Amino acid sequence: MILHISQVSENNQFYVKIKRSNDFKDYVWQELIKTIKQFQDNSFKEEKEFSITAEWVSFLSILNDLADLRDINKFELVCSKEAEQKIQETIKNQNLISSKNFNIELNDTEIKRLSSYGFSKIQLTEFQIRDLKQLLKLSNGANFSVQGSGKTAVTLAAHLLLRNNKKANVNSLLVVAPKNAFLGWEDGFEDCLNDNCKLKEEGLVELTGTYNSIKKKLNSGAKNFIINYEMLISKGNLIANFVNKNRVHFILDESHKIKSEGAQRSQAVLSLAYRVNFVRKDILSGTPAPNRLEDINTQFQFLYPGPEYTGGRFWVRTTKKELGLKEPNIKLINVDMSKPQMALYTKVLNPLLASLKKNSTINYSNSKKIRQSIIKLIQISSNPVLVTRRQEEEGDIILGENIDFNIHRALVKEEQDGGSSKIRYACKEARRLAKEGKKTVIWSYFKWNIEYLGNYLLKDLNAEFIHGGVKMGNDDEELETRKYKIKKFKDINSDCMVLIANYASCAEGISLHHACHNAIYLDRSFQADQYLQSIDRICRLGNNDQKNIQVLQNKIPKTLKNIDLAVNHSLQRKIDDMGRFLNDPDLTQMSLKESEGVDPIDENISDSDLQGIINEFLH
């Protein structure tokens, strides 16, 4: 029995082709396929009776299992030259888990040398120095310190030490980060490095544009690059070619972005980690396990290809308590629903509950519909006209005396009068704070909310808004770009008193703590990482004033399920789990905050009152 392993190419992406001989036993073949599928992103690229084409990272993840399978069943492995090279690279990288080649024991004298390397514009704190020393004792490192603790500064210091270490002899910095975190790295270069620093002189080139333009940049002689996760998916081979010619220090910023093993970005990152021998790899995240503890596994495998994470500490973490930061004052604010809002909420909720009673198991056939219903409930809780406007656009609301049109008409009138209960509260609170000379950041997931508040309701406070449709911009002087809007809001002397933003665009990579100490949440979702990171935009090292956070949640009759409370409980569990895993009492304390305050239950509305509200819109 023979198993042939070779490399094939499609659309500039490389895959592994595994072909069995005619006498290869079916049960052994099926066992092999089953093992690979545990690591495979969706289905195989191609699957035939005697061959499969799979992701390289999936195949390289099972090398130990493959060896056992071969020894037990006595078959022969025949590899092409390219396949043999990839397998040997992977085995070499797997051995780095116990490698001492680039472990560096730092003393205080070497820390002081950072200044001579150009790292002189800031002084590392006691905790940053502690983390730096611990990280460089490891062949690859994970910095899971809280947001705003200066992970970028520690990473730049580590990189400079690696550049000036004869054993490591690093000559290149490669950063993978969300696009909205690029600005944070730009600021890091500016805040930490003096003008004589060689790293600053070289700069950090953004890998954006077409395949050919990125190829040109990588071949330009530049040594330091930053690329976003989505771009890496299709440009991995270009990156691999560059790494093979240089001695690269590879950074994953916001590494929890690869928490899902099946996601394309995870596959792209792991494929590089398994195929290419970096001098050193570091991952950075303040929220490494935002949904479940298993989220840590892919990040661990990026650092140490091969084994799954089975326990033990491989990271450093500085907590807010160690930094001496005050706990943010988090208040859960209960807000009354309007009658049309309550009627629409009930109209969406009840069919969802009825369908779940018939079949409570989430599966492929019903998951999309359930997700859509949950998003609708969050929208209704935040600003119900978001749902009825969409229904109107899709032709689901018919003009005339019917419940759908009557609810929509009432909600449009409500919008013209200042918006939903939550939006009116947020505007009133922002104006109160502005009168005291205090700036506010307002968070919402929904683009309409963001533009409605920024363009209309809070124009008197010179509000700015940011969502995915707002371009990053080349510099902070380019009008209507993210960089311009953020600079304007952060200017303590500007009259821009409010920034309205969504989590995907602003929860990572920007610092607002010097200018803003107040945040209001119109709505939240079940993503703990985005919520925690958004809080840390204003709770960061460098300013220890009291930070005030108001989370708005609707009061709903106790006979109805409250979507805000469901989000609250989910976040509480996830934050508490991550706090226990990281041994961070600050996170545990924050999870307790989610259970404080009065439950958002409207005791004054009975079932008959609720039916009466619905009846109002039936006629």
The span from the CA of 319 to the CA of 26, in Å, is 54
Residue 254, pLDDT > 70, answer yes
* Average pLDDT of the segment spanning 14-23: 87
Q: Concatenated DSSP letters for 253-311?
A: ETGGGG-STTSHHHHHHHHHHHHS--SEEEEE-S-SSSS-GGGHHHHHHHHSSSSPP-S
Measure the N-to-C terminal CA separation of the chain; round to a whole number of Å.
Answer: 76
The most confident of 18-27, 349-358, 432-441, 556-565, by mean pLDDT: 432-441
Q: What does the pLDDT look like over 504-549, one tens digit per residue?
A: 888 776 788 889 999 999 999 888 888 888 898 888 877 788 999 9
Tell me, what's the pLDDT at 613?
45
Is 385's pLDDT higher than 80?
yes
The alpha carbon torsion through 67, 69, 70, 72 (nearest 10 deg) reads 120
CA distances from 534 to 140, 181, 196, 371 (A): 28, 13, 34, 23
As a whole number, mean pLDDT of residues 206-221 equals: 93
Q: Is 535 helix (H, G, I), strand (E, B) or coil?
A: helix
Q: What is the pLDDT of residues 447-504, one digit of tens each?
A: 999 999 999 999 999 999 999 888 877 766 787 888 899 999 999 999 999 999 998 8
Residue-range domain boundaries for the chain? 2-91, 99-318, 323-335+418-593, 337-415
Give residue 272's pLDDT band: very low, low, confident or very high (50, 70, 90).
confident
What is the mean predicted confidence (pLDDT) over 206-235?
Answer: 92
CB 19 within 8 A of CB 3: yes
Q: Distance between CA atoms of 562 and 570, rounded to whole angstroms?
A: 12
CATH topology identical between 99-318 and 323-335+418-593: yes
Mean residue pLDDT of the chain comes to 85
Superfamily of domain 99-318: Tandem AAA-ATPase domain (3.40.50.10810)
Q: What is the pLDDT of residues 304-340, one digit of tens each?
A: 876 677 777 889 999 888 888 888 899 999 999 999 9
Give me the mean pLDDT over the 102-109 stretch.
79
**DSSP reduced 3-state for 522:** coil
- pLDDT at residue 605, rounded to an integer: 47
Give the number of other CB atoms < 10 A from CB of residue 225: 21
58-89 core/surface letters (b: 16 or more CB in 10 A; e: else): bbbbbbeebeebbeeeebeeebeeebeebbeb
User: Can you give the pLDDT at residue 104?
Assistant: 78
pTM attached to this predicted model: 0.75
pLDDT at 296 over 90: no
Q: Are strands 51-55 and 46-47 parallel, antiparallel or unpaired?
A: antiparallel
Helix (H) and strand (E) counts in the chain:
26, 18
Q: Which of 202-206, 370-374, 564-568 is predicted least confidently?
A: 370-374
- Alpha-carbon distance of 305 to 328, in angstroms, equals 38
Is pLDDT at 576 greater than 80 in this prediction? yes
- Which has more confidence, 382 or 582? 382
To the question of domain 323-335+418-593 being in CATH 3.40.50.720, the answer is no
583: left (phi over 0), alpha (psi -120 to 50) or beta: left
